Amino acid sequence: MSTHGYEQELRAERGYVDGLYGRLDDERARVRAAFDAALLGNGGTHLERDDEVRALGKVAKRLDAVDNGLCFGRLDPLDGKASYIGRIGLFDEDDDYEPVLLDWRAPASRPFYTATGAHPEGMRRRRQFHTRGRRIVDFTDEVLGRPGEDERGDAALLAAVNAPRGEGMRDIVATIQAEQDEIIRLDHPGVLVIEGGPGTGKTVVALHRVAYLLYTQRERMERHGVLVVGPNPAFLDHIGRVLPSLGESDVVFTTAGGLVPGLRVTAEDRPEAARLKGSLKILDVLRAAVADRQVLPAEPIRINLRDFTGRIDAAVAEWARDEARKSGLPHNEARAVFTEILTYVLTERAIARIGKGWLTRDNREAWERVRTELLGELAVDDVFTGALDALWPVLKPEEVLAELFSSPERLRSAGGDQALWRERGDAWTVSDVPLLDELVDLLGRDKADDRAARQEREAQAEYAESVLDSLISRADSMDDEDHLYAQDLLYAEDLADRFGETDTRTLVERAAADRDWTYRHVVVDEAQELSEMDWRVLMRRCPGKSFTVVGDLAQRRSPAGATSWDAVLKPYAEGRWVYRSLTVNYRTPAEIMAVAAAVLAEFAPEVRAPESVRACGVRPWSRGVTDDGLVAAVEEFVRDEAGREGTSVVIGPPDVPGAVPASETKGLEFDAVLVVDPDRILADGPRGAAELYVALTRATQRLGVLHRDALPRSLDGLVGRTAPVGS
């Protein structure tokens, strides 16, 4: 195309995209007007109004999120009209709702990602726009249908992967590659495992798959939403903007430590404790710990009733305990069975004594009247209620687990390993979360507490409605000298709304606060780190077993983590899980990947490192330093990178100033990485090599290594450096 022809095409494309933004703005204004009207009330019930407000709010968020890069490409078929591809679909209302912009997830958009020179799929040309805000800066064309070499990417892809990193992960909606697109659109209702080495884009592919599923199955999925589980808060912050940028907001992001609402993780387990807690064998310990709280009296407990003194001895308590256990109910709910047996024994014996000589079972009415009176006495008898609390207490998950782990005696009684002991029982760790979650089901709800809370809510609602009724009655009966202000009625209506049954929280807020919430789909990133107990929690959160699982077994560090996907998934999704791998590294340049591959070959020789799609032209380097010179060398690196565009990080042991551990950088990427003391990282437990592999593969442009002791043999490929770090 000549320069003159290119400029004409660019002006035409800019004009077309300007028109798309005009339609977007009109649609935004329409939705905003409808949203405002719904807030004021359009008739109907409060619940109907809230549903309408929520629905319109979601649409408004979706429209606001797609402003940047609304349209990023065009497809020209061999015959017919060109199609423009973008973040959402837009339609011409004046032309029988003809699409003027295709959503990237629509079936008609797929050739934009999959057509090649050898297999053009009926397309003549693919055009990609490079935009800044709402303006097209330039475009590149790829002519299809001609035989050519099997290239892994084009100019747009290479420009994207070479661009400096910002504060968070970017979507790849404009540069999705064919192998990624196949996974994103895979029609599989069960569990999809996506495995890939560093830089293969497995995380961003999983997020785009969520966006695709929400687009194709929106009615089924958006009422319950999607859960995304990541390894740490920094990772969640990093990926948190991808789905909103694609117009999707009904997604809860959390770590494994956040799966029990309100719990605060403050400690870290020793490797052996983490391994024990992660095994399904811990279930037996938890069940035994609960059973250990269902005790028998050492001495008979005397209960004074009217004209009778009863006793709760070991035999009676054992009968009540056996019946409660046989009920199959959770501990707190089974307390009712335990109580019923005890009250039955006490009242039957009391009636037999009190009614001796005049009362028989044939006189049912009198018998039941006496029994009712005795039950009333027992209900307020401090000794009896104290006996119940001692023999079958109402338990909370936190108190059971805290007392178990801080008591060697309780651990022994429950069959737990003493490696689980800790001084502070409530110093919660990530490994405690699935145990606490399991205890919620083992213990069940406290029916009395639930009933009291419900009664309180009902009383508050009744009071609020009475305030509103009284004000309305006053308005009807007031004379000219009375004054009733509008805000009085508004306050009363707000009070009634507040205590009513409607819930105005967003789906994300409701789901994140509700331990019993179930999701339509769950994404698990860094899944190789999850234990058997972690998987049990997650499967409970998604009864339909619809998962996208992302991981790399070669990067596993946790002693309780997965060693094979089949072992993890077979108990829950046998015959319903499929495996896909990503083999091309889009992040790590070939020069850095060669160094990391040498580390991988030593600790996982059976695993093949992903092949890098590009080179950066900068060799990774190493430099030996003394203890005294380490801080200065790190500071030089930081100063040098501060003057460059992009991001950087120092990864090393805890005593290195300004360094973060490799585990906190999982899933993240930086333009420049400085790894300090690789030999000490290698020596940190059995998975130290995996930690070093992670550290080396975070860089997209530049990698340096500082070492105080001898450089590990696997890093012999690094270029030695004696000049200052910043040179």
- Binding site for ATP: which residues? 196-203
Q: What is d(CA 648, CA 119) in angstroms, rounded to the nearest whole number?
A: 40
Torsion of CA 34, 35, 41, 43, to 10 degrees: 50
* Structure-block tokens of residue 561: 């983590």
**Binding residue ranges:** 196-203
Calpha distance 61→244 (Å, rounded) = 8
Q: Are 45 and 31 in contact (CB under 8 A)?
A: no
DSSP class of 406: T
* Calpha distance 722→225 (Å, rounded): 54
Under 8 Å between Cβ of 351 and 371: yes
With CA atoms as reference, report the closest residue to 216 among 27, 126, 69, 89: 89
Across the strands, what pairs with 329?
Answer: none
| Beta pairing partners, 229 | 254, 524
Start-to-end Cα distance in the chain? 43
Residue 626 has phi, psi (to 5 degrees) of -90, 170
Kind and range of the H or E run holding 621:
strand 621-624
Considering only CA atoms, which of 165, 159, 176, 161 is closest in space to residue 238? Answer: 165
Structure tokens at 644: 């460059």
Q: In degrees to the nearest 10, what's the CA dihedral of 13, 18, 24, 26? A: -140
Read off the tokens for 563: 């060693």
* Alpha-carbon distances of 109 from 24, 165, 528, rounded to whole Å: 19, 28, 33
Residue 429: CB atoms within 10 A of its CB come to 19
How many residues does this entry show for the chain? Answer: 727
Neighbours of 531 (CB within 10 A): 26
Which pairs from 321-327 meet CB under 8 Å and 24+ separation? 321/294, 321/296, 321/391, 321/392, 324/294, 324/392, 325/291, 325/294
Residue corresponding to tokens 């044939």: 362
**Sequential DSSP letters for 409-476:** HHHHHHT--GGG--S-TT---GGGHHHHHHHHHHH---HHHHHHHHHHHHHHHHHHHHHHHHHHHHHH
Q: Contact, 562 vs 164, CB < 8 A?
A: no
Tell me how far CA of residue 655 lies from CA of 634, 660, 661, 708, in angstroms: 13, 10, 10, 13
Taken in order 574, 577, 580, 581, the sign of the CA dihedral is negative
Phi-psi label, residue 109: left if phi above 0, alpha if psi -120 to 50, beta otherwise: alpha
DSSP 304: E
* Closest C-alpha to 629, from 618, 637, 620: 637
| Amino acid at position 516, single letter | D
Sheet with 83-86, side-by-side order of all strands = 90-92, 98-103, 83-86, 71-77, 123-132, 135-143
What does the alpha-carbon distance between residue 538 and residue 554 come to, in Å, rounded to a whole number? 22
Residue where the block lists tokens 């199959």? 328
The whole-angstrom separation of Cα 341 and Cα 582 is: 61
* Beta bridge partner(s), residue 303: 310
